[in-house]
Every structure is written in C-alpha cells, then in structure tokens.
Amino acid sequence: MLPSLFIQRLTLILTLATNLLTYYAYGQNIQPNIVFVLADDFGYNDIGYHSSQISVGQAGEKRCHLRELLRPAHLYTNSEPTFVRAIHTGLQHGIIEPEQPNALPLDCPTITDQLKRAGYSTHMVGKWHLGFYEDAYLPWKRGFDTYYGYLTQSENYFTHTAPFNIKNGKPYLDFRSEMTPVRNESGHYSTHIFTSKAIDLVHSHNRSKARFDML
C-alpha cells in the first residue's frame, strides 16, 4: 500500500498545482498547455539534485526542493496515465503480463478522458502497459488523440521487441504509432526516438487549441 503521508503530500501538491493552473487560466482567459514527463524506475542517483553526475540543468542547480515532499525511498509506482499500477486498481497482485486478458477497466477514466472533455488535444509518447487485449483498451481508445510507443511493460531499447510469453521467450515487435507498427527504428535507442518524437509534437502544435503531452 502507498504510505499515507506520501498520499497526503501528493494530494496537496496536485491540488495546489491544479488550483494555480486554474487561477492562471481564468485570469488570462486561456487554457494552459501541459507537458507531463514521468520516468519509470527512476533511480535515486539518476538525477542531478541528488549529487549525481547526470545534470538536469538550472532546475537541478536550484536543487528542486519539491523533492522534500516526496521522499519515500521505495515506492511501487508506474509510468501509466492513471498514476497507479494494476495492483492499486484491484485487478491483480502484480503487473499485467502481455498474454493476460486484463486491462484498466473501461469505467476507470484516465486524465486524458477528462482533459478531452475540457477541449484539449492529447498525445502520448512512451510506455502504455495498461492492457491491450481488446481494441477498446488501446491508448488511442482511452483518451489519447495520438500514441507512439510500446504497449507492454518493457522492450529492448534497440530492437524494440519484447517476449509475448515469458516462458517461451520468443520476441515480437512492440513499437507502434497508433495502429501502425513502427518497423524502421531498429538499432536506434528508444530514449532518443521518444525525445525526437516529443519535440516534433511540440513543434507541430496547433496554437488554437490547448494540448496535453504525456512522455
């Protein structure tokens, strides 16, 4: 279970952020664009403000004091747009394996479902991992206008393949742009591909409509 203190702090942060965005939006009579970046399995020493050799630029130099509000050393979280793994939705006691006929229930709205109701365009680059055994559970059917990435829990960063069944270990391509398999990126590092795609999304932004990008 999530630590209760962490839940309280996270709720406070999200509430404050929402209120600030709402205040700004109403004051300026605009809807703010949102870029949500979430790192899965992010190591403690993978970021500059923990004295890592990996620099995060000026924000890191200011030491990002927000981290003091989110201090649990180990937390079972995910990179999906619901912010909680299947174990926290009551689906099962672990991750959704590729061959399982399980997915985030359709009566569980995602953040993008709500943002689309508010008039946002919505885009996702990266890992889905909320189930895909029927069309209705695919990311472009769960609130995202566009999707570019992989559907399962992990992939090979260069071949972009993953075993469908853990027991036999036979790899298959798990990389797509909505319904279209991406077959021309073999040998290219996933992080670089996703970064380039995210930049392209920003450059192609239609300024007449607010947008939400999840990376």
Please write the tens of the pLDDT for every residue from 9-37.
555 666 666 666 665 555 566 788 888 88
The pLDDT tens digits of the residues spanning 121-178 come to: 999 999 998 889 899 999 999 999 999 999 988 899 999 998 877 667 788 999 999 9
Domain ranges of the chain: 92-215
Predicted confidence (pLDDT) at residue 92 exceeds the cutoff of 70: no
Q: Residue 207: what pLDDT? A: 82
Q: Residue 146: what pLDDT? A: 94
Cα(51)–Cα(55) distance, integer angstroms: 9
The pLDDT tens digits of the residues spanning 38-87 come to: 777 777 776 666 665 655 555 444 444 444 444 444 444 444 444 444 44
Q: Residue 180: what pLDDT? A: 93
pTM more than 0.85: no
Q: Residue 7: what pLDDT? A: 53
Q: Residue 158: what pLDDT? A: 96
Q: Residue 195: what pLDDT? A: 92
| Secondary-structure breakdown of the chain: helix, strand, coil percentages, each rounded to the nearest 5 | 35, 15, 55
Cα(98)–Cα(176) distance, integer angstroms: 15
Q: Residue 124: what pLDDT? A: 95
Q: Residue 197: what pLDDT? A: 94
Predicted confidence (pLDDT) at residue 205 exceeds the cutoff of 70: yes
Cα(215)–Cα(209) distance, integer angstroms: 19
* Amino acid identity for residue 181 in this structure: P
